[in-house]
Amino acid sequence: MAEHLYTEHPALYDAIQSEWDYDRDVSFVLETLDRYGIAADQMLEVGCGTGEHTCRFKRAGLDVTGIDKYDGMLDLARSKCDADFHKASLPDTSAPGMYDVVVAIRGVINHLQPDALAPTIETLADRLRNNGLLIFDNSPLPTEGNEPALDVGTTREGQYVRVAHHVPTGSGTLEWRAVTYTPTGECFVNSREMTPFDDATIGATLETSGLGFEIHEGYGTGDSRTVFVASRN
Ligand SMILES: C[S@@+](CC[C@H](N)C(=O)[O-])C[C@H]1O[C@@H](n2cnc3c(N)ncnc32)[C@H](O)[C@@H]1O
């Protein structure tokens, strides 16, 4: 597997995702904390990427620790706000301390191998203070794979062109393969393993870890992910 988007082209990641409704996701989390009556102070955000959610949470008054597997993403995140950013790869968080809320937003969980789900949920649950919430989503992925599709987009720097598809590996995961031409004419190949978890498996894993949960259809309008809001029973 060759992960070049997250490692070498984080700014392109941001450009491709520039239409993403980060505010919607953040509002969902803040409203959920409100609904549970949690005056949250400290947040752990895993898979924080380039920090778009992180910096919004920070501006909303939270003390945020963001962790991600890749320096490329973290370096860009650090240039945006002064949250506490660390490199760590789930299921390890390398994040000491306890948090009022732990979030993993936008398919972070789907970047895990199937057998890493349970240890990751255990690790994240262990970082929760009493009454703390674990909020994360499960992205819908094409379990059977799909055909290569063309994506042409415009960034501030110019046009990018990407052909991407998912290929089943035969071991319960998908390989996401992409060829991208960047606005500067560079071409790179990306290959990443993703796991199409089903919601029932995630629910059962949460229960095994002693977590109760509620399920939401997305963080808001136009979002097709399943969002889990979990807490210690
Ligand atoms: C689709 S991106 C989402 C990033 C960010 N949350 C957002 O919404 O823009 C998935 C993120 O998960 C990170 N990631 C993937 N595997 C990880 C792991 N094992 N541990 C920590 N972060 C991981 C990637 O580096 C990437 O930043």
pLDDT at 94: 83
Distance of alpha carbon 227 from alpha carbon 57, whole angstroms: 18
pLDDT at 200: 98
Give the side-chain half-sphere CA count within 13 A for 12: 23
Give the residues across from 150 on adjacent strands: 163
> What is the Å distance from ligand 1's center to 9 Cα?
14
> What is the Å distance from ligand 1's center to 107 Cα?
7
pLDDT at 96: 74
Could you report the average pLDDT of every consecutive run of 10 residues in the chain (233 residues)? 94 93 98 96 98 98 98 98 97 88 98 98 96 97 98 93 98 97 95 98 98 98 96 87
| Atom of ligand 1 at shortest range from CA of 92 | 20
Looking at the structure, tell me whether residues 55 and 91 fall in a common domain. yes
Looking at the structure, tell me whether residues 131 and 73 fall in a common domain. yes
Looking at the structure, tell me whether residues 182 and 226 fall in a common domain. no
Looking at the structure, tell me whether residues 188 and 214 fall in a common domain. no
Contacts of 104 (CB under 8 A, 6+ apart): 45, 46, 47, 124, 135, 136, 137
Q: Residue 175: give its domain's CATH number.
A: 2.20.25.110
Structural domain containing residue 167: 149-194
pLDDT at 154: 92
Looking at the structure, tell me whether residues 167 and 110 fall in a common domain. no
> Which is nearest to 216 in space by CA: 229, 200, 201?
229
Looking at the structure, tell me whether residues 10 and 84 fall in a common domain. yes
Contact in structure between 132 and 38 (CB atoms under 8 Å) = yes
Looking at the structure, tell me whether residues 105 and 162 fall in a common domain. no
Q: Residue 96: give its domain's CATH number.
A: 3.40.50.150
Structurally, how many domains does the chain consist of? 2
Ligand 1 neighbours (beta carbon < 6 A) = 6, 46-49, 52-53, 68-70, 73, 89-90, 105-108, 111
Dmax over CA atoms of the chain, in Å, equals 53
